[in-house]
């Protein structure tokens, strides 16, 4: 069989998936069956008080990979709504796959979902150097688009390492939310990640005027101010690239998020009515 799933049980609140190939965004054939079975298994997991979701994707395959896509979006982010209330830790590993003794097949891809304490550390990576850090960014509401996070980060004080970095890195975010605030952060991490990481690049390309004009129409800012922020080298710890380009009637972002192998988001519920975000980006080994 092309895949094997271990479902959660009364004494083991864990979902595990072994597969011959990675689940794509638009599955066909046996991938459809695998996605359905994986979602059914995840739905059977129960959220324990105070715990966060831990999800990992492990494969010796060195190909291009966005871990938030593999672990959340390709599965269907809606299925994670209940078990992500307190946050999550997702990460990418490159180890060889250990196949269950009862299986005769060989699998090259492995995904795991479990509930862990907020203090859970990475199973694959160690934090090295802090590349960027920020505190007490106040949000009127949770942004839903990458350009909103990009603008917020660009206009807030962020401490950035002076030495450029182009390797693999991790991201930690701590949210302070009103008690009754409920939103599916598995569905929000993609625009959040794109916007935050984009703010740590500078723009290099042929579309500066066009993308600045398009972004200005939705960000209530002047095109020349957008251009200045895009070209800013002071915060470009992740380097310069063709960061954003025209797409359809708007833009598409292209930060180096495939290099992000670790994301931890913690939700703390407090009495204040405002939303506050702290965070850091760091190199890993």
Q: CATH number for the domain including 17?
A: 3.30.1330
How far apart, in whole angstroms, are the C-alpha atoms of residue 58 and residue 81?
23
> Distance (Å, rounded) from C-alpha 226 to C-alpha 232?
10
Question: Does residue 140 carry a pLDDT above 90?
Answer: no
Residue 272: is its pLDDT beyond 90? Answer: no
Instruction: Over range 87-114, report the average pLDDT.
Output: 91
Burial 84-101 (b: 16+ CB within 10 A, else e): bbbbbbbbbbeeeeeeee
- Count up the domains in the chain and report the number: 2
Q: How confident is the model at residue 40 (pLDDT cuts 50, 70, 90)?
A: very high
Give alpha helix (H) positions in 167-266: 185-198, 208-219, 223-231
Mean pLDDT throughout 16-24? 95
Q: Would you call 46 exposed, middle or buried from its count of C-beta atoms within 10 A (0-12, 13-18, 19+)?
A: exposed
- The mean pLDDT value for 252-279 works out to 94
Of 116, 137, 166, the position where a domain reaches its end is: 116
Q: Are residues 69 and 187 in the same domain?
A: no
Q: Are residues 224 and 254 in the same domain?
A: yes
> Are residues 112 and 166 both part of a single domain?
no
Sheet of 14-19: strand order equals 3-6, 14-19, 109-116, 52-58, 87-93, 260-270, 169-178, 275-284, 127-139, 159-160
- Give yes or no for residue 130 having a pLDDT over 90: yes
How does pLDDT run across 200-213, given as a tens digit for each residue? Answer: 999 999 999 999 99
Of the three residues 72, 90, 116, the one that is the final residue of a domain is 116
Mean pLDDT of 88-102: 90
- Asked if pLDDT for residue 283 goes beyond 90, the answer is yes
pLDDT of residue 106: 87
- In percent, the amount of the chain with pLDDT more than 90 equals 83
* Pairwise pLDDT comparison (96 vs 196), residue with the higher score: 196
| 86 in the same domain as 29 | yes
Please give the average per-residue pLDDT across 93-110, as a whole number.
88
DSSP state of 12: B
Range of the domain at 196: 127-284
pLDDT of 11 reads 87
pTM of the prediction?
A: 0.94
Residues 6+ apart with CB under 8 A from 36: none
């Amino acid at each position: 069989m092309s895949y094997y799933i271990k479902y959660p049980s009364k004494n083991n609140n864990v979902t595990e998936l072994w597969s011959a190939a990675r689940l794509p965004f638009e599955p066909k054939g046996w991938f459809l069956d695998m996605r359905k079975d994986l979602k059914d298994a995840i739905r059977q997991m129960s959220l324990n008080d105070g715990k966060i979701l831990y999800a990992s994707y492990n494969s010796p395959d060195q190909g291009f990979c966005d871990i938030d896509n593999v672990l959340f979006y390709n599965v269907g982010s809606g299925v994670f709504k209940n078990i992500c209330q307190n946050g999550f830790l997702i990460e990418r590993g490159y180890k060889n796959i250990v196949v269950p003794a009862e299986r005769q097949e060989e699998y090259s891809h492995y995904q795991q979902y479990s509930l862990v304490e907020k203090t859970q550390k990475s199973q694959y990576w160690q934090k090295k150097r802090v590349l960027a850090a920020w505190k007490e960014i106040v949000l009127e509401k949770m942004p839903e688009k990458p350009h909103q996070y990009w603008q917020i980060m660009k206009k807030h004080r962020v401490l950035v390492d002076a030495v450029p970095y182009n390797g693999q890195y991790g991201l930690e975010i701590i949210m302070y939310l009103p008690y009754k605030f409920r939103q599916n952060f598995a569905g929000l991490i993609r625009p959040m990640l794109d916007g935050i990481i984009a703010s740590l690049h500078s723009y290099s390309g042929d579309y500066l005027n066009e993308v600045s004009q398009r972004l200005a129409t939705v960000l209530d800012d002047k095109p020349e101010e957008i251009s200045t922020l895009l070209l800013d080298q002071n915060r470009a710890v992740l380097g310069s690239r063709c960061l954003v380009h025209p797409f359809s009637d708007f833009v598409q972002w292209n930060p180096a998020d495939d290099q992000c192998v670790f994301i931890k988001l913690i939700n703390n519920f407090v009495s204040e009515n405002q939303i506050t975000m702290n965070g850091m980006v760091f190199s890993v080994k």
